[in-house]
C-alpha cells in the first residue's frame, strides 16, 4: 500500500532529502501536505516537481501570488497553516521544521492519530514529557529520523527493555573536533559551517560544532526510549560510520552502521516496520579503521549542560534549547564569537528558576522569552 507522507519544513535539508526518498520510490510513497518557510524559490521548484494538494507558507502575503501560479493547489499560511498540514489525512507526518514552532502542529497531528517521523529536535527537548505522554494516550508512533536515534531504534527492535545496559550515542565531534578550547576563540562562521562528515542546515551544523546537538540527542533518547539518564552514554567516533550502539546486560554490543546519508534514516522511518531497497551501500572492505574516544565534558561544555538540564528536568531543558537557538542565531548573524554561544546558554540556564511539571503554555512562554535578546 502506498503511504501518504506530509512534511513540515519541506525546503530544509531533511525535507529535501525526504522528497528525494519519495521521488525515487513512487510505488511506496506519495507526497501529502507540506509547509515551507520563506524560501519561495525552493518551494516553487518543489511545487513544479510534486504538485502537492495542500501547502502552507510562513507569510500570508505570499499566498495570493502562489495561488495565481498554481491554481490546482490549496494554499494556507502561518501557525494555522502548520496545523492544517500536520492534520492532513496522511499515513505519516515528517516534522522537519526548525525550532519550537514545530511543537503545536506535532501535538495536533498526534491528536489526529497520525504517526510522526520525528526530525524536529526541539519537540522532545522542550516538551518531551508532554509529547510522549500524548502519543501514548493516542496510540501514535513516534519514529525517530535522527541517524543516532534511528540506529538505536533499529538495534532495539524486538529486544527486551529490561536487558538494556546502556545506549551509546556516537558523535563525530563536529567541525572543531581537533581543536583545543583555546583555539576555539578565533574560529570563524565559515569554519563552523564546514562539517567533516554530514551535509546539514546551518543551525544544526553549528550545534554539532558546539556539541549541543549531541546534548539534544541525549535528551531525546531519554524520552524516546525511557531509560535512566545514567544509561545514556556518548562517545567520539570521527568516521560517523557507526551511528549508535546498544550495550546489553550480557556485555553484547549491537551497532548500526551506514554511510553518512540521512536518506537511510528517513526511508526507514517511512517504511517502518519494513524495509525497502536503497542504493548507497556501505563498502565494508574499504573501511580501514573505526576510531573511538571517551567524551571530554570539559572540552565539550554544551553536552554537559544538556546532561545537567536533563537531570534537573522541568523547564530547564526548554530554557537551554531556547537560549541556544538565540545564541546560534546571533553567531550566524556575526554579532557574537563562537565561544559566546555557550556563555549565553550557561548564563540563561543559571539565572532561570526551574519549574517542575510545566504545562504547554508555560513551555511556550519560556521558549519565547529565552530565545529573545532579553534586554
- Using CB atoms within 10 Å of the CB of residue 193, give its burial: 0 to 12 exposed, 13 to 18 middle, 19+ buried: middle
Taken in order 120, 126, 132, 138, is the CA torsion positive or negative? Answer: negative
User: Cα(196)–Cα(264) distance, rounded to whole angstroms?
Assistant: 19
DSSP 10-21: TTSHHHHHHHHH
Q: How many CB atoms lie within 10 A of CB 89?
A: 12
Detail the residues annotated as belonging to a binding site for NADPH: 11-14, 37-39, 120, 122, 201
Q: What is the residue-wise DSSP string for 103-150?
A: HHHHHHHHHTT-EEEE--HHHHHHHHHHHHHHHHHHT--EEE-SHHHH
Give which of 166, 171, 103 is closest to 132, Cα–Cα.
Answer: 103
Residue ranges for the known binding site are 11-14, 37-39, 120-122, 146-148, 172, 195, 201, 208, 213-214, 217
C-alpha span between 30 and 52 (Å, rounded) = 9
CA distance 15 to 18: 5
Q: Rounded to an integer, what distance in angstroms lies between the CA atom of residue 155 and that of residue 153?
A: 6
Annotated binding-site ranges for 1-deoxy-D-xylulose 5-phosphate:
121, 147-148, 172, 195, 208, 213-214, 217
Annotated binding site for Mn(2+): 146, 148, 217
* Calpha distance 42→96 (Å, rounded): 16
CB atoms closer than 10 angstroms to residue 189: 15
Which grid cell sits at 338?
A: 563562537
Amino acid at each position: 500500500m502506498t503511504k501518504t507522507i506530509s512534511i513540515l519544513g519541506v525546503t530544509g535539508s531533511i525535507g529535501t532529502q525526504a522528497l528525494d526518498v519519495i521521488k525515487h520510490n513512487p510505488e511506496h510513497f506519495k507526497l501529502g501536505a507540506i509547509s515551507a518557510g520563506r524560501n519561495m524559490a525552493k518551494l516553487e521548484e518543489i511545487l513544479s516537481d510534486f504538485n502537492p494538494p495542500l501547502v502552507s507558507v510562513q507569510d500570508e502575503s505570499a499566498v495570493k501570488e502562489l495561488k495565481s501560479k498554481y491554481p490546482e493547489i490549496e494554499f494556507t499560511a502561518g501557525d494555522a497553516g502548520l496545523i492544517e498540514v500536520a492534520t492532513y489525512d496522511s499515513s505519516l507526518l515528517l516534522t522537519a521544521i526548525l525550532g519550537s514552532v514545530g511543537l503545536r502542529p506535532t501535538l495536533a497531528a498526534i491528536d489526529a492519530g497520525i504517526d510522526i517521523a520525528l526530525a524536529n529536535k526541539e519537540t522532545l527537548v522542550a516538551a518531551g514529557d508532554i509529547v510522549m505522554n500524548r502519543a501514548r494516550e493516542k496510540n501514535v508512533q513516534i519514529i525517530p529520523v535522527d541517524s543516532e536515534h534511528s540506529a538505536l531504534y533499529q538495534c532495539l527492535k524486538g529486544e527486551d527493555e529490561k536487558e538494556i545496559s546502556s545506549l551509546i550515542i556516537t558523535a563525530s565531534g563536529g567541525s572543531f573536533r581537533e581543536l583545543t578550547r583555546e583555539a576555539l576563540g578565533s574560529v570563524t562562521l565559515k569554519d563552523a559551517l564546514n562539517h567533516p562528515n554530514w551535509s546539514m542546515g546551518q543551525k544544526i551544523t553549528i550545534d554539532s560544532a558546539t556539541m549541543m546537538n549531541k546534548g539534544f540527542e541525549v535528551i531525546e533518547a531519554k524520552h524516546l526510549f525511557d531509560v535512566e539518564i545514567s544509561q545514556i552514554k556518548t562517545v567520539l567516533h570521527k568516521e560517523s560510520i557507526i551511528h549508535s550502539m546498544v550495550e546489553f546486560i550480557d556485555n553484547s554490543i549491537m551497532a548500526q552502521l551506514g554511510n553518512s546519508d540521512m536518506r537511510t534514516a528517513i526511508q526507514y522511518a517511512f517504511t517502518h516496520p519494513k524495509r525497502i531497497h536503497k542504493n548507497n551501500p556501505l563498502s565494508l572492505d574499504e573501511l580501514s579503521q573505526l576510531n573511538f574516544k571517551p567524551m571530554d565534558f570539559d572540552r565539550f561544555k554544551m553536552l554537559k549542560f544538556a546532561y545537567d538540564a536533563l537531570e534537573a528536568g522541568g523547564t530547564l531543558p526548554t530554557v537551554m534549547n531556547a537560549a541556544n537557538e538565540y545564541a546560534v542565531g546571533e553567531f550566524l548573524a556575526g554579532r557574537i564569537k563562537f565561544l559566546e554561544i555557550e556563555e549565553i546558554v550557561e548564563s540563561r540556564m543559571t539565572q532561570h528558576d526551574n519549574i517542575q511539571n510545566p504545562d504547554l503554555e508555560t513551555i511556550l512562554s519560556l521558549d519565547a522569552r529565552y530565545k529573545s535578546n532579553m534586554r
